[in-house]
Structure 1
Amino acid sequence: MTVSATAFPDIAPGGPVYRVLLIEDDEGDALLVEELLHDTGLRFELTTRTSLADSRADLTAAPFDCILLDLHLPDVSGTQAVTAVRSLAPHTAVIVLTGLSESQAGPDAMAAGAQDYLVKGTVEADLLRRTLSYAVYRSQTERAGAEAQAVRMRAEENARLERGLLPQPILDTSTVRVTSRYLPGRELALLGGDFLDVVECDDGLLRAVVGDVSGHGPDAAALGVCLRIAWRSLVLGGHRGPDLLHLMERILIAERGTHPLFATCALLTLDEKAGTATLHLAGHHEPLLTTPAGTVEVRAAHGIALGIAPDLCHWPATAIPLPDHGALTLYTDGLTEGHNGTVDGRLGVEGLLALIEQLPSADPAVHVDRLIKETHALNAGRHSDDLAVLRLDWGTG
């Protein structure tokens, strides 16, 4: 039986509408509770059930603000009734209804998770109004506190996990300015499969990597972290170019197990003194070169993605002459595969370059943030992919 607040025309409009579930097998007691709710002056929607079994569908289908629970039901009784209801509706206020002879039943029920208790035969409308209002308020406060704690824990976990994908660059004497951004594509995801890193090696050259593991979810994220850590260890150990990519591919194959994952990546070696950069592409797209004349896509030779054809091992090098001051931007396809503001069109590299031309000159970090914001605005949530951006600026000092 369900009774709506609109069934009582003398109740003044305004104020919250309390969604109440009454679980009571005694028809007379259920009628008294209904009349008392009417006398409280509260606006409410009442659903009445006679057993826990009959209530399960209601508890899982629609949220309630408060559950009025008789402790002696045909299928469950005592604190077990409270525990069962709380397991089905952990964020709903529970007020138990006890008998006059059950002096300890109320406190025991509260210890089991109920917000409050009322003794049948002694309840007046004013007491019910105060008890119900306070129980709902307390339950909502507890829920808000739990959600805030979950957000804090998630933020802490996010910070710990993102250190695996966004490590601190190792820069000793280099004057190159490093700007990096990372955003997982899935809503509420902590990590995605993209990765990036920058280190200055003992030879004084700056080396960088940006990569993208196929797929989404924890397997892709774990493999991305693994490849990022492997890259840093191998490059600091002196491995370069095709040799470095071959070892990364071996690690990928060993770590992916039975999952058909592969990875694209771009390796960059920047020699600021010589004014050159060396690029190796493993299934990845070219970076962008920004000079005083504007931003263009670098023309470079391509090699195959890691894990696609392990025996091929073909990753040609491309030498890039650099101006006295400028920037190289490496990124994953989350920046270009989104929509361009139309129904079916994708942004692509041409759209990205056109967008960059429209952006005012700004600090590199501000520029990258503005670029990501604008691409997301054009996409309007229609395409979801992980995103990693690494910008290296030199000659600005």
Structure 2
Amino acid sequence: MPVPVPRQRDIPSTESGPGAMSSLTLLVIEDDPAGGLTVPEILDADGHRIRLRSARNLTEAARLLTPDVNCVLLDLSLPHGPGAGAGSGSGTGDAADPFAALRQVLRIAPRHAVLVLTSEEEAERAAEAVRVGAQDFLFRDELDGRLLSRAIRYAVERKRADIAQYKLAESKLRAQENARLERGLLPHPLLEGSDLRFAARYRPGRSRALLGGDFYDTVRTPDGTVHAMIGDVCGHGPDEAALGVELRIAWRALTLAGLSGDDLLATLQEVLEVERPCEEIFATLCTVDIAPDGRRAGLCLAGHPAPLISRPGRPARLLPYENSGPALGLLPRARWPRRQVELGGTWSLMLYTDGLIEGRIGPGKERLGQDGMVEMINRHLADGLSGEGLLEASVTEARRLNGGELTDDVAVVLLSRAEG
């Protein structure tokens, strides 16, 4: 039976915007365009005529399915197959799959609303077509211009809602996958057998990211030495975050292989020079290797802020930072002197990136700076804070002083030892 649709009109075809409903185009796929009920005019909600295109088979339909088509009306009795068309009979579709033609339309028009047309006697089949993927079904005997116009509008809106929902679900899934990946890239300190306590806080500057260009790690080698490091790749994008992960993993591998001090930093600079996306990228780094007895440490700085040490009964202060070396990636064949520092019996050592100290203080241009950070830490120590609580309070206060989120990545690592 032919499809009861209006004759094709010679209306100029203009592309509609993605949210526009004032200029709709309907593609009719049916195999007998000469017959059928003629509807005088189909109007949309604003009184505009709905443009019509006709295809006698799926091959023609694919050619006519341009971006300005909003909806497809498919005769469910259309024979399936690229050669099926006029003269092939009304048919009942593919005997093995009565919805083969519909499935083909859904494949070639995944972003278009699809309506199916059938007889009232095939109501169950029509309902099944909706479950297969059509937006709605229409009966031939009940079809008129008003009903078809309303069905087209509703189908287009439902399809848009379905696409929006799919994109939202896809976005959530991608965000969950990225979060799992980024969590997997965060370090897991290797401190088994050590009496040191470890705490860390990490806050990337990028919105909705878990990783930034800052990186840190801590491992204990078989000789009992605890090695800690913190670094900062200049920039805040995903490339910088990836480079930070590469440098951290390289540092861990080199440390476990026995390198330290200047030899380790020189090798890390080679890694950075090979892996960085452009020659302007550099990274600052602070490394500390704590002796097995926990009372002294070796310190190397590559353009990075000096760690802060606190001891019972004394105010916290910065470790010596004179004669430090340049950031990695700035100077070829650079050297990074290693300084020996005395820690004592009971102490806390805080390593941090400049995101903590470069936040502003109030509405002016003044920044917290290292002196302001030392003063802030001493206040928190006087309040009895330590470990995770000390780091959380410090990052929270830096954000408050800045008047909101810190724009740079922030990483803070705290190693503590209590002499028993």
Question: What is the TM-score with the length of structure 2 in the denominator?
Answer: 0.66
- 1:365 aligned partner: 388
SS of match in other structure, 1:354: helix
Cα distance in 2, alignment partners of residues 237 and 230 from structure 1: 10
Equivalent in the alignment of 1:221: 241
Which of 327, 330, 334 matches 1:305? 327
Q: Distance in 1 between matches of 2:202 and 2:133?
A: 42
Residue aligning to 1:391: 414
AA partner of residue 30 (structure 1) = L
Secondary structure of 1:277's match? strand
Task: Map 1:157-176 to 2 at 5 A.
Answer: 157-164=178-185, 166-176=186-196
The partner residue of 1:322 within 343, 350, 361 is 343
Instruction: Tell me what 2:356 maps to.
Output: 335
Kindly report which structure 2 residues correspond to 1:169-318, keeping only aligned pairs within 5 A, or say none: 169-256=189-276, 258-271=278-291, 273=293, 275-292=295-312, 293-301=314-322, 302-313=324-335, 315-318=336-339
Q: What code does the residue aligned with 2:346 have?
A: H
For 1:370, give the aligned amino acid. Answer: A
1:377 aligns with 2:400: yes
| 1:23 equivalent in structure 2 | 24
User: Is the 8 Å Cα contact of residues 82 and 109 (structure 1) preserved in structure 2?
Assistant: no
2:218 counterpart SS class: strand
2: CA distance, partners of 1:206 / 1:279: 12
Shift in Å, 1:285: 0.8
Greater displacement, 322-331 / 378-387: 378-387
What 5-or-longer segments of structure 1 have no aligned partner? 1-17, 36-46, 60-66, 73-77
Deviation at 1:49, TM superposition (A): 7.1
For residues 248-307 of structure 1, what are the alpha-carbon distances to aligned partners after superposition, in whole Å with 9 as ceiling and x for unaligned?
A: 112211222644321110010113625112210011111111223332222223111111
- Write out per-residue CA displacement over residues 314-367 of structure 1, whole angstroms, 9 at most, x where no aligned residue: x12222222422211111111122222224232222232333344443351122
RMSD of aligned Cα (Å):
4.4
C-alpha distance in 2 between matches for 1:27 and 1:82: 29
**8 Å CA contact 2:116, 2:136 repeated in 1:** no
**Conserved? CA contact 1:249–1:306, under 8 Å:** yes
Match for residue 6 of structure 1?
none
| Structure 2 residue matching 1:171: 3-state secondary structure | coil
**Is there any run of 5+ residues in structure 2 with no aligned partner, and where?**
1-18, 27-38, 54-63, 75-100
- Give the Å deviation of 1:371: 1.9
Q: Give, in angstroms, the shift of residue 23 of structure 1.
A: 1.7
Q: Which amino acid aligns with 2:24?
A: I
Distance 1:380 1:69, change over 3 A: farther
Alpha-carbon offset, residue 393 of structure 1: 1.2
1:349 aligns with 2:373: no
Length-normalised TM-score, structure 1: 0.70
Quote the offset at 1:154 in angstroms. Answer: 2.5
Preserved CA contact (<8 Å) 1:326 1:395:
yes
* Secondary structure of the corresponding residue to residue 42 of structure 2: helix
Q: In structure 2, what is the Cα distance between the partners aligned to 1:294 and 1:232?
A: 32
- Output one character per residue of 1:167-200: Cα deviation in whole Å (capped at 9) or x when no partner: 2111121111111222221112343222111011
Residue identity in the other structure for 2:349? L
SS of aligned partner of 2:316 = strand
